[in-house]
Structure formats: structure tokens, C-alpha cells
Chain A
Amino acid sequence: MRELEKIEVDTLVVGSGIAGLQAALDLADQGYSVAIVEKAPSIGGKMISLSKVFPTLDCASCITTPRMASVSHHPRIKTLTYSTVDAIKREGKTFTASVTRKPRYIDEKECISCKRCEEVCPVYLPDEYEQGLGAKKTISIPFTNAIPQLPVMHPEHCIRCGACARACPKDCIEFLQEPAPVEIKAKAVILATGYETTPMTAKKQYGLGKLPNVISPMAAERLLAPHGPYGRVLRPSDGMVPGSIAYVQCAGSRDKSIGVPYCSRVCCMYAIKQAILLSGSLPIADITIYYMDIRAFGKGYEQFYNNARAMGINFVKAKVARITEDEKHNPILRIERQEGDSAPAEVKHELVVLSQGLLPGCDVSKFNLGAGLNDFGFVQLSDETVSSAVTAGAGVFAAGVVKGPRDIPDSVVDAGSAAMEAASYIRKL
């Protein structure tokens, strides 16, 4: 272990997705100091890996990177990436967080982000940023617009060839680097730990993630992203351009059988958005969305849905009972239509996206901060008709999906109000 680093700030923000970034900025711009702890090697959360965002079809990077840059340049915000919050202790009116900076195996202060190490590294591994659809080097900067622009080495894959160390112009490579402990003292805590999508393995009937051409919506985002793994939409099994694509809605929400009875709020809209983007990149492809109810409830969303219908995207009210595949890995959907002909039918598509729901990204109960959780692990507010951020734990506030599924506009708005509650709380201490 390296020497203990001590940081003292007004507020600790856990998580640097769009909600965490916005909450930090809204506090820092009012004059409060903030420390953000992010477990991933870059700030930006889930949003930075999306292609475009509904209902305006702005490129996700174009919306996220200015926020990331503002945070990283802000004189009152300290950002700790590739770091985990191991525990938070409350002592009187002060929170003390024990944080571990994971080793990147480089000297972070000296690194000039020149990528020479990445260029010479001979070992490739699946790139989780590209949802496994692309490859990265064992030492690499996590993605193009990552902040900070620092490479991470994965020692479990490193063959100790030393090529990176020889290529580095600043002699930064540290094969023996150890985790570094950090202690953060703060007056308030904002939980912005976001979500994970329901796993591909959640539903046996949908192939448990074993059917190669049944993919997650996050993988579809990468296929559609302008700087994605292939630069175009190809299906995983054989690299073919799919001619018929289906979305299975509520594949992980509104489903008691997998313990997620609630609506995940974003899946209808992201499916519609991806369908619109797909019909842009694959103009002759057939796109079908199998749904229960289309929940286009936000500002401009109904109009977005109407545009998708006008573009010829098929909306079929049907339950998908089972997904199998033929010998060419074409997914076969067994569906029961809820309108028109209701007899069960089998429909073949060439690529299927499971519209997965949202689960809590982190079990925040482990911090013992007094913030209650609901039955599904999301943070419960003390009275949501009075404040949208105050939890039962004094000085503990929540922003974004940590309280339950919500889309980007709702999360951004939510974050500002969490910042405001934290500011009022600190002022009254």
C-alpha cells in the first residue's frame, strides 16, 4: 500500500455518471468543494458510451464531454477515478470515506497520454467499453474521450514483455505499483451510483445470453455509435449486415418472474431511438418492436414515437414467450400477438435486441448511512412530495437512477436538486 492521501471537501459525490457530474458542478459553481469518486477508469458513467440520445438525437458524447471537461477543469472539484469507496463512517457531522485508488501500473503524475505504450503492447483483450464487440490492448486508455487520458494496465493479461516500458518517453510504467489508500472527509454525501442493466442471463426463455445474435441494448448502442467497434452495424455471429431486427420490450422489467415488477422508464424510448438510428444506417432493414405498452411520456417523446411509426418501424403489441435460433443463428421468436390474429406464431429475425431494464448499480446499504432502500434496492426518499433528494440519513442525498430508473433529462434535473439540498444542509451545519 502506498502512503495515505487525505482530502477534505464539503461534499463527497459517489459516482460520476451524468447525475454525479451535474450534482458536483451545481455544488462547485455555488462555491462548495467536491470530491467525486468513480470506480471506472474514466468519468462519464453509462452515458458516455451511448450513441445518440432521445428525443433530440444529440450525440451522447457531445452532451457528456462538456460536462466531463468542466468537472475535470473545475478548481473546486477533485476527481478520483479507478477508485472504490470501501466504507463511509459518520463521526458527528463529518463523513470519513475510505477510498482505494486501484493501480493503473503507471505514474499518473508523469504520464503525458501519448499512447506509445498502447501502440507497442502486443496483447489484445476484449474491450468491455465496446461490450466485448471490439478489442483493446492490455495497456490502453479506456476510450477516445476518456477523462483522465491515462492508460490502465491489466496485469492478469500482461506478458511482461517490457515493450511499453521501453516505449514510454517519460519512464512512467510501474509494474509493481500498489493500491493507494485515500481518506476523504466531507460534510455531506451525494449518492449517484446509477444502474446496471438486467443481465442477459436473467431470463431462461430468452436464451441466457448464449444466442450470439440476441444482444443487449448497450451492445446495440456501441454498434450504432459513430466511433463504435466496427463503424457500422454488423451482427456478432458472422459479421453479416442484419436485414431484419427485432426489439423485445420489457425483457427485464414489468416481469415478476425475474423480480423486477417495476417499469424501467427508459426502454421504450431507447428502443425507439435505436430503431430510428438503425433505419438511418440500414435503410432497407425491417425493424420490429414487440411491446406491451409504449411509454413515451416525456417532453417531446410522443412526437418521437410518432416519427418512428411514420418512418415505417413496426410496432407489434405482443408478448415474446421464448427465443431460440436456427442453424444459421437467426433468432426465432415465439410470440403471442395481443391484437389482430392472436394465435401464437414463430417469427424469424436476423438480430434481436433485448430491451433490458435497470437495476441499482451499487448496493448503497453497505455504507450504513441511514438512507433507506425500497424492495428493489433503490434509495428511498424520506418524503418525495417535499424534496426529491433528502434521504433518511442526515447529510445523505441521492441523485439520478440510484433512486429508481429515470432517463437522462430527468437525471440531470434531479442532480441539480440534490446539489441544492446538500448546499442547504452544509450551510445550516
Chain B
Amino acid sequence: MDEKITEASSKDNYRQEPKVGVYVCHCGGNISDIIDVKAVAAALAKYPGVAVAREYAFMCSSNGQDLIAEDIKNLGINRTVVAACSPSLHELTFRNVLQRAGVNPYLHEHINIREQASWVHKADHAGATAKAIKLAQAGVEKVLRKDPLNAIRVAAEPRVAVIGGGVAGMRAALSAAGKGLEAVIIEKAPRLGGKLLELGKMYPSGEEGPAIAGKLEALVRADKKITVHTGADIDFVGGFVGNFKINFKNADGTSSQVKAGAIIMATGYQHYKPAQGEFGYGEDANVVTLPEFISLMKNSPAGRLEYSGKEIKSLALIHCVGSRQVEGIHKPQADGKINDYCSRVCCSSALYAANQVKDKYPGVRIYDVYRDIRTYGMQHEEYYDKASKDGVLFLRHNEADQPVVTSDRTGHTVKVKDVLTWGEELEVKADLIVLVTGMMPADISLIRSQMKMPVGADRFLQEVHLKLRPVEMANSGVFIAGTAQYPMDVPEAMAAAGTAAAKAAILLAEPDIPLEPFVAVVDEHKCTGCGLCPAECSYDGALMMSEKNGKKIAVVNPALCKGCGACVAVCPTRAINVAGWTLDQFDAMVEAIAKE
């Protein structure tokens, strides 16, 4: 059952003698005001292979549809051409008419005589009519050469593999299980919870990171549909939609495999690690990152903010460390690229932390060195407001004038060219420098290279389309949840993870996954095994050379083929065709149009 590809049974109507019905639509004057639709129908009625040609005011209306269905029933029409609007509007409508009437829905051709004739030749009625006739005749030639097609159905494992057991991974698994799917969480760390396990009090709820993770973990552990593998070191991810395989080593050294119909990538982020010497980091012990500061605060005694046994009376927060970097000003990362993106959550996190300091240790002086304060969330502006009220001193610099941190025996100094005081060079003394570091994607190079997963310029996993398919990857059946895609806070990660689970649930709603039948088909007799086509194929594994009866031939995996036709173009013997769009069909259409 592993990689079985099933074909639904098809009606045998293609064995019958072709009887084409042609239907010309008036489109309520849209077409008939310009084109002589009666002349089109009359011309087509005489065309070879056409059994009946009719015109009607609105073919798409239920009366128009009934007209076709009755011809199928009474006259034995087994292929149809509808000359009307754009196929994007109503091709599906008419395919459904055929289906309902018991004819294979792909034995239909939709000809556009509105956008391509009446609308563009308003001043030339005779010309538009002649063009409509030619287009419809080409449609008849195409439909005569069509074969019945059936959706390719790939049997799918009814299971979702979630890679990463942070909050996004746990939410994705919970949502998938909520829908009744089996979910398997594969987490490399010994515990569930991801980065939250390291964090202290977090906005918006004020709960500690581990407590938030704990709430989700409790739900995960209670759900019988969810299996959890922690301490799992993934060494292989492969397969295709419906049939993925993930191999990993367990903590005890044994190996396991998970088979899944869909994969959710919840691989999360890593904190930006400042370069050696960046604002003194790594050289001066009193320069720490925001996550380090949050844990330090957690461990400080009640009345006194302490670091390495010394009281901290003042601190300076420097924003945008490792984020919003600028070419020529910031040093590139190891891969030669700068982090030019905004890490989204750091402004709110930093001010939330500053407010906690002010609440717990009101005497501590805080300087906030920033470029733009991006407290965009519903309550986040309150953090900014409260910080200002509590006396946090804000210093704003331009990107070109980076603050400079120096240390000597008297302490640490941040030098800022502050635009809020008309570009004055200000120096502030602070006991502790806190670098507000951003997010970078976690290192998942092994999985990425095995699955050829696309990433953006920012190195985060790349969705297909930010608005149309925001959690889907180009790899069919792979979805993204949480900060593997882009920096986000916990509530945002919850939304992304829920949606990733929704997409997986839609994919796996049926026991097998229907795929479009428009895929490449190889004629084994014509194929010479020259091997030109696999080089053109952009979809890994969709087209490969193989041996059959001692002969080298190209073999298509219909589950992976997207029907782009790149292979068709290079085949010297016309051995490959895209089903539904064959070269013979196009030849015949061109002939019909070019005929005097």
C-alpha cells in the first residue's frame, strides 16, 4: 500500500464513435451583439464530426445546462464544445454537466469567443464572427482527439508528522488530532517546549515561558492521537505527498521511522548570537543579550537586581541587534548575507522586560537605544506607554549612526547620536548593556537539502504565496508552522500552527489524494531512451530514466509531475505528451485555424 497509485475506473464512452455537440452562447448580448451566433452554429453544424450545434442566450444557466444534458441523453452526444466566456469562468461548470450526464468530464472543450472575439473586435462584426467560427472549429478538432482522463489518486498515510516540539509544533499536532488525524511530534531536544523552556516572564500573559509550554504539553500528553518522540535525531526525510518517510535515531541509539501523509515544519528559531566584539559582546562580561537578561532577572533576589554578584543600578537596552541590518554598516553573517529583516517581537519583549525591571527594582535607571519602536500588538503600545511614564529614557539613532559601547574601569558607556535631541552626541553610563537580539531560523540544513525546501533571502522557510498559500511550501504536502517561517510571538505562532494543521487536514480529508490528471505521459514505443527530458524536469523525481524489458525509457511519477510540459519540448521523437494537452491536438487546432 506504500506508494500505490490507484486509478479510478472510467467510463468507456471514448470507445464509441465520437459525436460532438457544439453550443454557442449569446452571453446576454455580450457575444451576440457583435457575433452572429446563428451563423456560428450553422457553420459548426456542417463541420465534420459535429452531430449537433445550437445557440442559446445563457449556456451557463440551468436551462442552458439542461440543453446539453438532454442532447447527451437523446442524441448520444459524447464530446462537447462550448463557445462562450473564458474557461476560467465556466469550464468547470460544463465539465460538471458532462459528469452528471455520465460522460467523462475531460471530453469537453471550452472556447472563449467573448474575451477573444466579441469584446476585442467590437467594430468588426463579420471578422469577429469568422474568428469565432475558426476558434470553435479548432475546438472540435481538439475534442475529437481527447482521451477520457481521471484524477490521479495517490493513497495517503492518514498521519501528520510534526517536526519540532515547541509551542508551534505542539499546537499543530493538537489541531490535527482535534480533527481526528494521527499526529507524530519529532523533537530533537529531550523535552517538549522548545525555546520557551529557556524564557522567563513573557508578554502578553505575563506567564513564564515554561508555564506556557507546559499548558500545551499537558494537552498533547492527554491526546491519544498524538505520539511524541523526544531526543530524536532526524537523519532522513524523503518521499512525496501522501507518502513521506522520516527516519531518526532515538536517544537510546535505536532507529525509528515515521510514515506520514503530510509534514508540518515547526522547526523554530535560534536567538541571534552577536559577533565577538559586537557592542562589546563576548569581550565584556557586562554585555548580555535580552534572553540572557531575562533569565538573569529571574534569578535575581527580590530587592536588588544582581549580575555576577554585583548590583545593577543602571542598564542600557540596544535594539535591532542582528536585525534591520544595513549593507555597508553591519558585518555580514557567516553566509555572507546581512539580516535585513525586522525580528518583529524584540521591541515588545524589550519593553516588557524593562517594565518588569521598573516594577521590581524602581531605582534602576534604564536607557532604551532604538531606531523605531515597533510595539504593534493590541496591548503592546501600553508597554511603551508605561515604560515612558516610569522614566525609561529613550534615545533614538539613525541606522547610519550606530551606538558605540566602550568600557573602562569606571564602567560602561553607550555613545549615541540622538535624533530626539537634534542629533546631539550623548553618552550614558550603564552597569549592564542588554543587546535586544533578534531571531534567526534554526539550523535545519539536513532536512532542507534532502527535501529541497526553498528558503527566502532571510533564510527562513519560504511559503508559496504570502496571502494565497501562506503556510504551504512548494513541496506538495509540506506546511510551515511558527517561527521556522518568520519571527513571531506565541499568539501568532498559534495562528500559524493552527492553519498549517488545517491545510494538512484538508489534504488528508480523503483516504487518497486527488491530483490533476494533466501530467506527462510517455509513449514507450516512441521513447528512444535518449535521456534529454529528465534534465529539463524541475520537479525532483517526477521524470527519471528507467529500464523496461531491457530498454531504457523515461518514466513519469504522476504524483510528482506538475504537467508543465518542459519535457515535451525537448523530446526529439514526440514520445512525451501532457495528458489533455497533446501535440496532436495542438497540430489539429492550428490546421483548423489556418485552413482557407
Residue from B58, B178, B467, B500 in contact with A58 in the complex, judged by beta carbons closer than 8 Å: B467
| A71 → chain B closest CB, angstroms | 14
Q: Which of B262-270, B298-306, B380-388, B551-559 is the interface stretch?
A: B380-388
The answer to the question of A112 belonging to the interface, with a C-beta cut-off of 8 Å to chain B, is yes
A97 to B460, CA, bound (A): 43
A159 to B170, CA, bound (A): 62
Residues of B within 8 A of A389 (CB): 495, 498
Interface string of A64-88 (1 = CB under 8 A from B): 0011000001000000000000000
Least CB separation from B495: chain A residue: A388
A417 to B340, CA, bound (A): 29
Residue from B58, B466, B485 in contact with A112 in the complex, judged by beta carbons closer than 8 Å: B58
The answer to the question of B344 belonging to the interface, with a C-beta cut-off of 8 Å to chain A, is yes
The answer to the question of A312 belonging to the interface, with a C-beta cut-off of 8 Å to chain B, is no
* 25 A-B pairs in the complex with CB atoms less than 8 angstroms apart: A18-B467, A26-B503, A30-B509, A53-B467, A55-B466, A56-B467, A66-B468, A114-B30, A295-B372, A295-B376, A303-B341, A306-B340, A338-B420, A385-B207, A385-B491, A387-B494, A388-B495, A409-B470, A410-B495, A412-B468, A413-B495, A413-B496, A416-B502, A420-B179, A421-B175
The answer to the question of B180 belonging to the interface, with a C-beta cut-off of 8 Å to chain A, is yes
| A274 → chain B closest CB, angstroms | 18
Least CB separation from B344: chain A residue: A297
User: Which 6 A-B residue pairings sit nearest by Cβ, starting from the closest?
Assistant: A417-B498, A424-B178, A416-B499, A114-B28, A388-B495, A339-B419
Interface string of A391-429 (1 = CB under 8 A from B): 000000000000011001110111111111101100110
A contacts with B: majority SS = loop
Q: Cβ of B374 and Cβ of A295 under 8 Å apart?
A: yes
Residue from B216, B344, B499 in contact with A386 in the complex, judged by beta carbons closer than 8 Å: B216
Q: Cβ of A420 and Cβ of B467 under 8 Å apart?
A: no
User: Which residue, of B167, B374, B419, has the highest number of chain A Cβ atoms within 10 A?
Assistant: B374
Q: Cβ of B486 and Cβ of A339 under 8 Å apart?
A: no
The answer to the question of A257 belonging to the interface, with a C-beta cut-off of 8 Å to chain B, is no
A26 to B372, CA, bound (A): 37
A302 to B325, CA, bound (A): 10
A302 to B339, CA, bound (A): 11
A405 to B377, CA, bound (A): 8
Counting contact residues on chain A (CB < 8 A from B), the size range is: 35 or more
Q: Cβ of B490 and Cβ of A385 under 8 Å apart?
A: yes
A428 to B225, CA, bound (A): 14
Q: Cβ of A340 and Cβ of B180 under 8 Å apart?
A: no
The answer to the question of B492 belonging to the interface, with a C-beta cut-off of 8 Å to chain A, is yes
| B387 → chain A closest CB, angstroms | 14
The answer to the question of B375 belonging to the interface, with a C-beta cut-off of 8 Å to chain A, is yes
A298 to B381, CA, bound (A): 17
6 further A-B pairs in the complex, CB-CB below 8 A; given A416-B498, A423-B179 = A112-B28, A114-B28, A299-B486, A404-B377, A410-B495, A417-B175
Q: Cβ of B466 and Cβ of A387 under 8 Å apart?
A: no
Q: Cβ of B494 and Cβ of A417 under 8 Å apart?
A: yes
User: Which residue, of B167, B342, B385, B458, has the highest number of chain A Cβ atoms within 10 A?
Assistant: B342
B residues with CB within 8 A of A: 28-30, 57-58, 61, 92, 167, 171, 175, 178-180, 204-205, 207, 212, 215-216, 219, 324, 340-342, 344, 372-382, 385, 396, 419-420, 422-423, 456, 458, 460, 466-468, 470-471, 485-486, 490-492, 494-503, 505-506, 509
User: Which residue, of A58, A340, A384, A418, has the highest number of chain B Cβ atoms within 10 A?
Assistant: A384
The answer to the question of A8 belonging to the interface, with a C-beta cut-off of 8 Å to chain B, is no
| B31 → chain A closest CB, angstroms | 12
User: Which residue, of B61, B215, B377, B506, has the highest number of chain A Cβ atoms within 10 A?
Assistant: B506
A294 to B375, CA, bound (A): 10
Residues of B within 8 A of A419 (CB): 502
Interface string of A334-371 (1 = CB under 8 A from B): 00001111100000000000000000000000000000
Least CB separation from B219: chain A residue: A386
Q: Cβ of A420 and Cβ of B422 under 8 Å apart?
A: no
Q: Cβ of B419 and Cβ of A385 under 8 Å apart?
A: no
User: Which residue, of A31, A387, A419, has the highest number of chain B Cβ atoms within 10 A?
Assistant: A387
The answer to the question of A113 belonging to the interface, with a C-beta cut-off of 8 Å to chain B, is yes
Residues of A within 8 A of B58 (CB): 112
Residues of A within 8 A of B380 (CB): 263
User: Which residue, of A114, A169, A254, has the highest number of chain B Cβ atoms within 10 A?
Assistant: A114
Q: Cβ of B499 and Cβ of A413 under 8 Å apart?
A: yes
